[in-house]
Amino acid sequence: MSKILAIDDNPIITDFVKDILGNEHEVITCDNGKSGLEAALKILPDLIVIDVMMPVMDGITAVAKLKAEPTTKGIPIIMLTALGKDEDIVRGLDAGADDYMEKPFSTKVFSARVNTHLRSKALYDELEDAYSRLKELDTLKNNFIAMASHELRTPLNIVTGYVEILLDNSIEELNPRSRQILEVMLSTSEGMTKTIKDMLSLSIIEAGQLPLEAEKLDLSNLLAQSVESLNIMARKKDVSIEFTPNEKPLIGIFDQIKINQVISNLIGNAIKFSPKESTITVTAKKIDEDLTVSIADSGNGISEQELDRIFDEFYKGENSESGTGLGLAICKKLIALHDGRLWAESKKGSGTTFYFSFPITGKV
């Protein structure tokens, strides 16, 4: 049985509401806005019917207070107003009332509106419960990932360390087959370590536990340093990176480590997917109040269908090389932490350009 709170200083109205709804619902009554507010916070009714004009506290003030409280903001409220009082209707709806009835009102229409709002409230409660369960599951997931990451990283580090020792020729000469096996083991363990690291990073970001250490920096200078460090990887694939530092510094407020992680990931991906003897073009500029970076490659490009999914967690495109499928998802979340956005433009067979931008003023 639903609980309905009727708040009106006129006992004729509250008795009338009881007569209409009392057979199917539990009706609790109060005679002013203050006592009605206190009752609502205590009993958490499924619906509130409230008059506008009342002593001690008027209905519009009570509605505003109810909608400001986390525990009562989802309760539907029907305002009762005098016929022709358009100003009261507007003020009540602006305060947060969900509906209104003009007195005198039809019994059938009133019952129909009450039942409609009760159904909506039941759906709202279901959604709230589902959201709470999802939050609990998400917390459990993040805790599990953190625990599993810690438990897996230690043995992996041991395996990696021993393989590196065995690959050191100073210990003993390895035959080609043994060396090949150990190199595969090393590559695999390093790949697993990166996967664990990415999963842990993602869970920390999603849990809201990754603070920004933003400071005033030159984005152009950071890009120049990143390009220089990634040129070694590019040269191994016979790919060049073209970046001309801006004449004037591109000063903004951002977290150097996190933005550098995004830059390194995007340029690293461009190197992976670029053909030999091609050029990756990196640019940076100030557009309005944002700093914007673009990284363009000459690879095979990304289909329109894939563009909608490349930032999804664990998604690997059809041309993807080895990887976790988490890099772009992490990049997008790191840029979002700066109140910015990350996106891509591409056509199949025509290369891909990734862009990211964030406000100059930053987020501290």
**Residue 83 pLDDT:** 61
Any idea how long the chain is?
A: 364
Cβ atoms within 10 Å, residue 101: 17
Calculate mean pLDDT across residues 313-325: 65
Please tell me the distance from the alpha carbon of residue 169 to that of residue 186, in angstroms, as a whole number: 15
Pick from 124, 144, 117, 160: nearest CA to 207: 144
Q: Which two tokens stand for residue 248?
A: 């004037």
**Residue 321 pLDDT:** 56
Lowest mean pLDDT among 122-126, 134-138, 149-153, 251-255: 149-153
Q: Which two tokens stand for residue 134?
A: 């999802």
Calculate mean pLDDT across residues 10-35: 91
Question: Which range has highest mean pLDDT (43-47, 106-110, 130-134, 158-162)?
Answer: 43-47
Lowest mean pLDDT among 35-39, 147-151, 257-261: 147-151
In degrees rounded to 5, what are phi and psi of residue 181? -60, -45
Please tell me the distance from the alpha carbon of residue 270 to that of residue 292, in angstroms, as a whole number: 17
| For residue 195, pLDDT beyond 80 | no
Judge contact between 64 and 95, C-beta under 8 A: yes
Q: Which two tokens stand for residue 37?
A: 């507010």
**Residue 103 pLDDT:** 83
| For residue 194, pLDDT beyond 80 | no
Predicted TM-score (pTM) of the model is 0.56
**Residue 204 pLDDT:** 76
Judge contact between 44 and 72, C-beta under 8 A: yes
pLDDT single digits (tens) 29-62: 999 999 999 999 999 999 999 999 898 999 999 9
pLDDT single digits (tens) 321-330: 555 678 888 8
| For residue 170, pLDDT beyond 60 | no
**Residue 26 pLDDT:** 93
Mean pLDDT of the chain: 86
Q: Which two tokens stand for residue 235?
A: 């040269």
Lowest mean pLDDT among 64-78, 97-111, 161-175, 250-264: 161-175
Please tell me the distance from the alpha carbon of residue 116 to that of residue 110, in angstroms, as a whole number: 10
